[in-house]
Amino acid sequence: MHAVASVEYRQEMKGFCAMTLFKKKDLVGIDIGSSSMKLVQLKETRIGYELVNIGMAPLPVEAIVDNTLMDTSAIVEALRTLTKSLNIRVNQAACSISGNSVIIRNIRFPYLTADELEEQINWEAEQYIPFDINDVNIDFHILGPDEIDPKKMKVILVASKKELIKEYVSLFKDAGVSLTVLDVDAFALQNAFELNYEPSADEVIALANIGDATMNFNIIKNGSSLFTRDIQLGGGLYTREIQKKHSVTRDEAEKLKLSEGLLDDEFLRMGIEQCNDTLAMELYRSMDFYGVNATEEKATKLYISGGCSSTPLLLDAIRDRLDIPVEIIDPFRKIICREKRFTPAYLQEIAPHVTVAMGLAMRRYGDK
């Protein structure tokens, strides 16, 4: 497994996680998305990861808005319902954050040891972070020497708003769960992809997780992230479009969006195609933005996940716009799934939603 920079929230966690004696196998991946919560539990075996538990629970529309936890009691309730329905007790969890409160930068620093960088990180990072340095938690991961300037090294810098981290820590505390790892959606996505697909070291690959409100975009090579971006677009765009054009409620629009024969209605089809194009254009822009600043080659393939990736004709729209092969991620590709416990039909249905949770379930305390 190639772990990247998982955000650890040292100050906030002190005295919190110390109270529990963690066993490695207890870690459960929990992805709190704006439309639903996903849970994945894996077991490490001699021949790879085995699926132990998996589930999903809807969240009220207003529970998370703009990646901010608005209704924590509804989220805690959803977690309780989910664990109850799966008949499990979660002791420690890995969760992830995304959006505007998380800044990820690939930068070049003067050559330092990890300890030296740890000491100087706030001072060094200040110029790259658009927030007050006192309001953020800084984490970093040294990627290696810079090929262009040997006096420098490549580093991934992750700055997350302390306020948001506190909210997550307290949410899990309310649910009686220790939040052991707080990662970033884009890195969890990468983690799940790398484990399942084992890309070769020279391949540059783009990943996009398209959910309801956010699209996590990550360009990777040889286990490292070259460029990430969170775009505030997803399945909600289609729902709003249908709601507006057909003068229906949000719930009705959501139902219409998921109905069979959706494309038979000319009016609906046009709306879907328009939204597909908006999403494809945003992906194109992100690819382009990476390309302009990149020192590495262009991505040769795009892998997508997220509930929105099931939208009819979306893949074609992206292929047309980007002119590269596009494939949907199978988060169970290398995971041992016992058919007696999980029917293939259920796994197929849940698959688009659980890639991030899968990547989280593979995390271990202290991962870097």
Ligand X SMILES: Nc1ncnc2c1ncn2[C@@H]1O[C@H](COP(=O)(O)OP(=O)(O)OP(=O)(O)O)[C@@H](O)[C@H]1O
Partner residues linked to 120 by β-bridges: none
Q: Which partner, ligand X, Mg ion, none, binds residue 154 by CB below 5 to 8 Å per kind?
A: none
Please select the residue that binds ligand X; options are 29, 55, 271, 307, rule is CB under 6 A.
307
Stretch near ligand X under the rule CB under 6 A, chosen from 111-119, 120-128, 253-261, 336-344: 253-261
How many residues interact with Mg ion (rule CB under 5 A)?
A: 2
Nearer to ligand X, 36 or 41 (CB): 36
Please give the distance of CA 328 from its chain centroid, rounded to a whole number: 15
Kindly state the tokens that stand for 290: 């990476």
Contacts 24+ apart (CB under 8 A), 129-132: 129/103, 129/105, 129/157, 129/159, 130/103, 131/103, 131/159, 131/161
Instruction: Name the residue type at position 348.
Output: Q
Interaction pattern, residues 9-48, with Mg ion; x per rule: CB under 5 A: ------------------------x---------------
CA–CA separation, 316 and 325 (whole Å): 10
Handedness of CA 231, 56, 17, 62 (dihedral sign): positive
CA–CA separation, 209 and 99 (whole Å): 13
Say whether residue 236 binds Mg ion (CB under 5 A).
no
Say whether residue 180 binds ligand X (CB under 6 A).
no
Nearer to Mg ion, 33 or 331 (CB): 33
Nearer to Mg ion, 139 or 212 (CB): 212
Nearer to Mg ion, 33 or 352 (CB): 33
Nearer to ligand X, 343 or 348 (CB): 348
Q: Which partner, ligand X, Mg ion, none, binds residue 99 by CB below 5 to 8 Å per kind?
A: none
Contact 331, 358 (CB under 8 A): yes
Number of neighbouring beta carbons within 10 Å of residue 183: 28
Beta strand ranges found along 165-233 (DSSP E): 178-184, 204-210, 215-221, 224-231
Nearer to ligand X, 225 or 311 (CB): 311
Report phi then psi at 19, rounded to 5. Answer: -75, -20
Stretch near ligand X under the rule CB under 6 A, chosen from 44-52, 273-281, 300-308, 329-337: 300-308
Strand 102-110 to strand 152-161: parallel, antiparallel, or no bridges (unpaired)? antiparallel
Stretch near ligand X under the rule CB under 6 A, chosen from 45-53, 112-120, 292-300, 307-315: 307-315
Say whether residue 311 binds ligand X (CB under 6 A).
yes
How many residues interact with ligand X (rule CB under 6 A)?
A: 20
Q: How far is the CB of 166 from ligand X (least distance, A)?
A: 20
Say which residues have a Cβ less than 8 Å from residue 205's Cβ, sequence separation at least 6.
193, 199, 219, 220, 221, 299, 300, 301, 302, 303
Report phi then psi at 23, rounded to 5. Answer: -105, 140
Please select the residue that binds ligand X; options are 124, 194, 212, 330, rule is CB under 6 A.
212
Please select the residue that binds ligand X; options are 83, 165, 224, 234, rule is CB under 6 A.
234
Say whether residue 55 binds Mg ion (CB under 5 A).
no
Please select the residue that binds Mg ion; options are 55, 211, 235, 359, rule is CB under 5 A.
211
Say whether residue 331 binds ligand X (CB under 6 A).
no
Please select the residue that binds ligand X; options are 35, 92, 190, 243, rule is CB under 6 A.
35
| Nearest one of 181, 150, 133, 132 to 367, comparing CA atoms | 181
Say whether residue 29 binds ligand X (CB under 6 A).
no
Residues 344-363 that bind Mg ion (CB under 5 A): none
Burial of 14 (0-12, 13-18, 19+ CB in 10 A): exposed
Task: Summarize as ranges the residues that interact with ligand X (CB under 6 A).
Answer: 33-36, 211-214, 234-236, 254, 257-258, 306-308, 310-311, 353
